[in-house]
Structure 1
Amino acid sequence: MHRNDLLSKLCNYREHWPDEATMTDRLISFVERHTDCFERSLSVGHITGSAWLVNKAGTHVLLTHHRKLNAWLQLGGHADGNTDILDAALQEAREESGLPDLEPISTDIFDIDIHLIPARKNEPEHDHHDIRFAFRCTGSEEYAVSNESHDLAWGTINHLDEYTTDESMLRMARKWLNR
């Protein structure tokens, strides 16, 4: 029962984005198979929550130059048992940016992605089944860089390719610009 909200959101996402049905079905299957999908301890992979965090004007997205992955990405991280993945994504965005005044643009999933995390120290390679929500910064846009990042930057959404060639990042930019 703790997975029903996420499964419902994923089914709605599949209806709205039928061209992403293969990945959505894969993610749904993962959630259905693993009662502990929200736990980092699930070694094959786990659910993560991410934030496509835009400025007040909606023209820029806050990016992290991720310390472990050494790439410009959206904010986000492990659910760590939180089955309310929207809340988990919001918590991660606040922790990684230092911005307290954030609000969800919608409670619907903005994007999904499944990506392989390389083995590191005692952790085997595993998949992050990433559930992404769109948020807007409603207060000060002065961020603080956390220890999880090399840096943060407000990237211009229609020029996101200046920061990354990652297809899932560029897909989110296209979704945002075409909304």
Structure 2
Amino acid sequence: MNVHDVSGQAIAGIGRFTPLDARDRDMWARLVRFCANEPRAFERDPQVGHVTASAFVLSPDLTSVLLTHHAKLDRWLQLGGHCDGIQDACFNATKEAYEESGLSHIRLLTPEVFDVDVHEIPASAKEPAHLHYDVRYLFVAEAGEPLVSEESHALAWVPLDQLGEEAESVAVLARKWPLWRERLDL
């Protein structure tokens, strides 16, 4: 795997990603290097960091995203979680979206990776600070009402035009969505 020119390259267990800007290229290059050099990339090991998988679940009318007020981090975030050794990020994103939302039917909009966000998770009493190599996919809710899970304080449909008020890791959806909507011909 050529870790110097990584645009559009696929990673086993993750898929293909087409960077849109310098931030995307940097995040993807970091993920490619990590997966190429860490044989336990999908395992939950805070000593080396790990791949996580997230779902941006859009409302049926494609105008809002379902966010969770994360209990441990005390922030509004997209749905998602650890891969726990399962080397299929899209499957993990799907599983986490169902578990954390209570929705009865969601649909993957594209198997292509929507976004990558490498970020530090602060140290806790149980784990040292470590990196999450978060791989994000796009979904749309087709049926069901969101139900709060044990991992969150609340769930909310947040209009995409209000995401600028959220953390950059979530606000990225509002910035990228118009281009993706056109690409997906929605």
Give your verdict on TM over 0.5.
yes
Determine whether 1:85 maps to 2:89.
yes
Structure 2 residue aligned with 1:23: 27
C-alpha displacement of 1:44: 2.1
Determine whether 1:75 maps to 2:94.
no
Q: Give 3-state SS (helix, strand or coil) of 1:138's partner.
A: strand
C-alpha displacement of 1:42: 4.9
Which amino acid is 1:172 matched to?
A: L
Determine whether 1:160 maps to 2:168.
no
Which amino acid is 2:159 matched to?
A: T
Q: Give yes or no for contact 1:51–1:132 (8 Å, CA) kept in 2.
A: yes
Which amino acid is 1:74 matched to?
A: Q
Any unmatched runs of 5+ in structure 2? 1-10, 181-186
Count of matched residue pairs: 169
Structure 1 residue aligned with 2:8: none
- Choose between structure 1 and 2: higher helix proportion: 1
Q: Give 3-state SS (helix, strand or coil) of 1:89's partner.
A: helix
Determine whether 1:65 maps to 2:88.
no
Which amino acid is 1:57 matched to?
A: D
Structure 2 residue aligned with 1:102: 106
Structure 1 residue aligned with 2:174: 173
Q: CA RMSD in A?
A: 1.4
Q: Segments of 4+ in structure 1 off by > 4 A?
A: none
Q: Give yes or no for contact 2:46–2:131 (8 Å, CA) kept in 1.
A: no
C-alpha displacement of 1:169: 1.3
2:132 aligned to 128, 131, 134, which one? 128
C-alpha displacement of 1:93: 0.5
Q: With the length of structure 2 as denominator, give the TM-score of the two structures.
A: 0.86
Any unmatched runs of 5+ in structure 1? none
Q: Give 3-state SS (helix, strand or coil) of 2:36's partner.
A: helix
